[in-house]
Amino acid sequence: MPRPRIFDEDRVLQDVMKAFWRKGYLATSAEDLVKASGLGRSSLYNTFSSKAALFERSLDCYLTCTRQVAKTLSDTEASPEAAIREVFISALEPEVPERLGCLVTNTAIELAGQNERIAKMLQRHFDLLRQAFTEAIKRGQRNGEFNAELDPTGSAELLLTLLQGIRVQSKSATDSLILERTIDQALRLLH
Amino acid sequence: MPRPRIFDEDRVLQDVMKAFWRKGYLATSAEDLVKASGLGRSSLYNTFSSKAALFERSLDCYLTCTRQVAKTLSDTEASPEAAIREVFISALEPEVPERLGCLVTNTAIELAGQNERIAKMLQRHFDLLRQAFTEAIKRGQRNGEFNAELDPTGSAELLLTLLQGIRVQSKSATDSLILERTIDQALRLLH
DNA sequence: CCTGTTTTGTAACGATCATTACATTAAGGA
DNA sequence: TCCTTAATGTAATGATCGTTACAAAACAGG
């Protein structure tokens, strides 16, 4: 019998997530969130309690979304090398004019050091990504694309770390040429 | 004939830099800066104009300081491998309980995307670091420590990117075991 | 010992921060 | 249609933001 909501919670989380993604947690004001979501202040606070809680749910949204993308690494159809390259190329985000980077990387730097809950979320995410890389590498070794001598887990961690490093450098890079060559180097490591 | 200052400008910059390092630019308030520097508000603003200008000078301070440390990479006395390992190990900062990370990495994520001046400063810094790595690798190749087949510049960029990635992950890492193994992997790449 | 100049301390500025109080609106169940 | 209940819109909350105005203080040159 209550008055029904006129907005979709997931749609709001998506929009709010993009706002946090663009400017970071601190630099995004409640006013920004109101504008990004299209809701009134009351509705936002009624459904999400606080800016901090809203951010956590946005981050969670981003994490699951990113994991979906990382599923291509475990996809048994595609070539592991192509899948890995795809993940790295998307980090350069050549289509986006603003340098958004990655919400995971951004959050690790901005909040993980001081917020244990956030740190835990990110750590779990890194674990999952590392696992996905590991599987892709093992698959590549089985079908002969990659060097069978390599330690899959160690190489996966190397890729994961390189990915984060690319995310950092792409924030200040004017051209992505050097980073593209880094991706080539990283993939050559696996052969 | 004017009243002389009772503080040392460089000492203040060092203290202020640490404050920015610990909490980031936005999260550090003018009040924090006053407390960190020990000066009065007036003196701070009189000598450094604004929080933004103060940050730029602090960052500059950090950059030149870091470059001094990176000089070990060009040191012809020490072993290139040992020097490189030293740089990476220090990134894990096992002595510091709080996860400070690296002011360069933190700033790249927090500000470089929106502040072109800052982005330029960081880019120049990355260029210098890459150059230092390149020299160390070349030297290692000459004395037989490293694989002579490697492309020095590309490998240097790989190291630089890995370093940034380690800085990101160390923010959320509970133990540094995985990252230590990554360092081993990175150095094995050079052989 | 003045005088001039700059630093220093205090207090306040307007703006914006995240959050909330409250009245209004709207819809389902009776 | 009326009543209940929750969503909504508006306005304001105290706190804190970065910055500044101003008077008092302190030193160097005369």
Q: Model confidence over B108-135: pLDDT tens digits?
A: 999 999 999 999 999 999 999 999 999 9
B119 in A contact zone (CB under 8 Å): yes
Residues 6+ apart with CB under 8 A from A31: none
Within 8 A by CB and 6+ apart from B155, the residues are A185, B133, B134, B137, B189, B190
Counting DSSP H helices and E strands in chain B, the numbers are 9, 0
The predicted structure's pLDDT at residue A76: 76
Residue A175 burial by CB count (10 A; 0-12/13-18/19+): exposed, middle or buried?
exposed
The pLDDT score that the predictor gives to residue A94 is 65
User: How many angstroms separate the CA of residue B44 from the nearest CA in chain A?
Assistant: 24
Q: What percent of chain A clears pLDDT 70, i.e. is strictly above it?
A: 98
Torsion of CA A26, A29, A30, A31, to 10 degrees: -170
Q: Which residues of B touch A123 (CB under 8 A)?
A: 172-174
- Here the tokens at position A5 are 């909501």
Q: Average pLDDT, stretch B132-158?
A: 97
Contacts of residue B128 in chain A, CB cutoff 8 Å?
none
Distance A12 CA to C16 C1' (A): 24
At which residue do the structure tokens 């696996």 appear? A190
User: Each residue of A15-35: pLDDT tens digit?
Assistant: 999 999 999 999 999 999 999
Rounded to an integer, the average pLDDT of A104-116 is: 97
What does the alpha-carbon distance between residue B131 and residue B160 come to, in Å, rounded to a whole number?
A: 10
Give the pLDDT of residue B170: 95
What mean pLDDT do residues B133-160 have? 97
Q: How confident is the model at residue A3 (pLDDT cuts 50, 70, 90)?
A: confident
- The band of A5, judged by pLDDT with boundaries at 50, 70 and 90, is confident
The answer to whether the beta carbons of residues B186 and B159 sit under 8 Å apart is yes
pLDDT class for A128, splitting at 50, 70, 90? very high
Domains identified in chain B and CATH numbers? 52-189 (1.10.357.10)
The runs of H, that is alpha helices, within chain A are: 9-23, 30-37, 41-48, 51-74, 80-92, 103-107, 116-142, 152-169, 177-189
Exposure string (b/e) for B38-67, b if CB count within 10 Å is 16 or more? ebeeebbbebbeebeebbbbbbebbbeebe
- Asked if A164 lies within 8 A of B163 by C-beta distance, the reply is no
Q: For B78, list phi and psi in degrees, rounded to 5.
A: -70, 160
Taking the C-alpha atoms of residue B110 and residue B108, their distance in angstroms, rounded to an integer, is: 6
* Nearest CA distance, B139 vs chain A (angstrom): 20
Residue A4 in this model has a pLDDT that exceeds 80: no
Q: What is the pLDDT, as a whole number, of residue A1?
A: 65
Task: Give chain B's mean pLDDT.
Answer: 94
Question: CB distance A163–B165 less than 8 Å?
Answer: yes
Q: Report the pLDDT averaged over residues B34-61.
A: 97
Per-residue confidence (pLDDT) for residue B174, from 0 to 100: 86
Query: Given this model, what pLDDT does residue A47 score?
Result: 96
B94 has pLDDT over 70 = no
The rounded distance, in Å, linking the Cα atoms of A137 and A123 is 21
Q: Tell me whether B51 touches chain A (CB under 8 Å).
A: no
On the question of pLDDT at B2 being above 80, the answer is: no
Q: Residue B67: what residue type?
A: R
What integer pLDDT is reported at residue A120 of this predicted model?
98
